[in-house]
Amino acid sequence: MDDKTESLLKRLAQGDQRALSRLITYVDNDHPDCLEALASLDHSQSMSKLIGITGPPGAGKSTLTDQLISSFRHQKLNVGVIAIDPSSPFTGGAVLGDRIRMQRHAADDGVFIRSLGSHGSHGGLSNATRDVVALMKAFGLEKSSPFDVIIVETVGVGQTELDIMSLVDTTVVVLVPESGDTVQTMKAGLMEIADIFVVNKSDRTGADHIFGELKVLSHIAATEDWEIPVHKVVASQGKGLEDLLNSLEIHQKTLEKTSSENSEKKNQVLRQQVLSILTHQIEKRVLEKGFEITEGENPYAVVKRLLSEMNK
């Protein structure tokens, strides 16, 4: 690890946002010092609460995130935001408008916002997000000015989102009255991922219908500890936000109460993280070294060759 990286890590621990920015760029560009730097972080003192916001495109996730930031700032909490846009090779793209609105918080020292697109994320978006979360959790720990809340906002409910949402404590799935189709076809995925449901734009026709459907699903899937609450929200007007904030708090408390039962699940997530960090590193090394492959060659035979070279 070179001196520059080491100094950036020190400034990160002291709560320097510019150092955080630089280190995120390191991670995004797969800088040679990345693994070393991330391995040196000490999260044991981190108290950041991790909230995930996901849902189909156009559900108003950025508007909701924007409102949540305001509420948390009102409580004098520091907020870090990772806004993920897998649909665009560049950050911004179609949702640039919403993101710009969110950026009004950028002038606020207690808020840090970073967008991640599929561009430059060599190991895929879930790898990049995991790395950025690790950096954000270590931010400001030495000066007791860490992020009290870290929000991860992403689009969709597919496998990538499941991976990303395994990083957070509480996942809010945002739907709109028009999402009836999504609810029907993604039922299993939605129930797996959601801790809280939000029906946004709930002043529109059809809001009661989808609200009812989600209520039934939540009731069926309820466990002794948690029944997914369903909230009607109009994010653009701040309506229904208080109930949502209340649910977020209750969910955090439930997690703390059931932490011993959750430790098995946490260990699973941690083991999965080790495997994906490891395979990403191996991929990186193999790509750096390069390998020969000719058209029509059996890729399994190439792997056998690579493995025996690695074991030498």
Residue 290: phi, psi to the nearest 5? 80, 155
Report the residue number, 106 or 269, with the smaller CB distance to a copy of itself.
269
Residue in 4, 25, 42, 212 binding a copy of itself, rule: CB under 8 A: 42
Residue type, 268: Q
* Cβ-based neighbours of 144, under 8 Å, separated by 6 or more: none
Residue 198 C-beta: closest distance to a copy of itself, Å? 18
Q: What is the token pair recorded at 177? A: 């009255």
Q: Does 293 bind a copy of itself (CB under 8 A)?
A: yes
Nearest in space to 156 (alpha carbons), one of 94, 68, 85? 85
Restricting to residues 203-262, name those near a copy of itself by CB under 8 A.
Answer: none
Residue in 29, 185, 237, 246 binding a copy of itself, rule: CB under 8 A: 185
Q: What is the token pair recorded at 187? A: 């039922």
Report the residue number, 42 or 225, with the smaller CB distance to a copy of itself.
42
How many H helices and E strands in the chain? 12, 7
Residue in 7, 87, 237, 246 binding a copy of itself, rule: CB under 8 A: 87
Report the residue number, 1 or 250, with the smaller CB distance to a copy of itself.
1
Is residue 85 helix, strand or coil?
strand
**Cα atoms in the Cβ-side hemisphere of radius 13 Å centred on 152:** 29
Q: Does 263 bind a copy of itself (CB under 8 A)?
A: yes
Binding mask 123-142 toward a copy of itself (x if CB under 8 A, else -) reads -----------x--------
Tokens 């959750």 locate to 262
What is the CB neighbour count within 10 angstroms for residue 134?
A: 20
For a copy of itself, which stretch binds (CB under 8 A), given 38-46, 200-208, 220-228, 239-247?
A: 38-46
Residue 63 C-beta: closest distance to a copy of itself, Å? 17
Residue 270 C-beta: closest distance to a copy of itself, Å? 6
CA distance 127 to 131: 6
Q: Greatest CA separation found in the chain? A: 66
Report the residue number, 19 or 134, with the smaller CB distance to a copy of itself.
134
For a copy of itself, which stretch binds (CB under 8 A), given 106-114, 140-148, 182-190, 238-246?
A: 182-190
Residue 185 C-beta: closest distance to a copy of itself, Å? 5
Task: DSSP letter for 266, please.
Answer: H
Residue 157 C-beta: closest distance to a copy of itself, Å? 9
* Cβ-based neighbours of 13, under 8 Å, separated by 6 or more: 138, 139, 140, 141, 142, 143
Helix axes 125-138, 3-13, angle to 10 degrees: 60
Residue in 3, 47, 181, 220 binding a copy of itself, rule: CB under 8 A: 181
Residue in 74, 107, 299, 308 binding a copy of itself, rule: CB under 8 A: 299
Chain-centre distance of CA 173, in angstroms?
13
Q: Which residues bind a copy of itself (CB under 8 A)?
A: 35-36, 38-44, 56-58, 87, 134, 156, 158-160, 178, 181, 185, 188-189, 263, 266-267, 270-271, 273-275, 277-279, 281-283, 286-287, 291, 293, 295-304, 306-307, 310
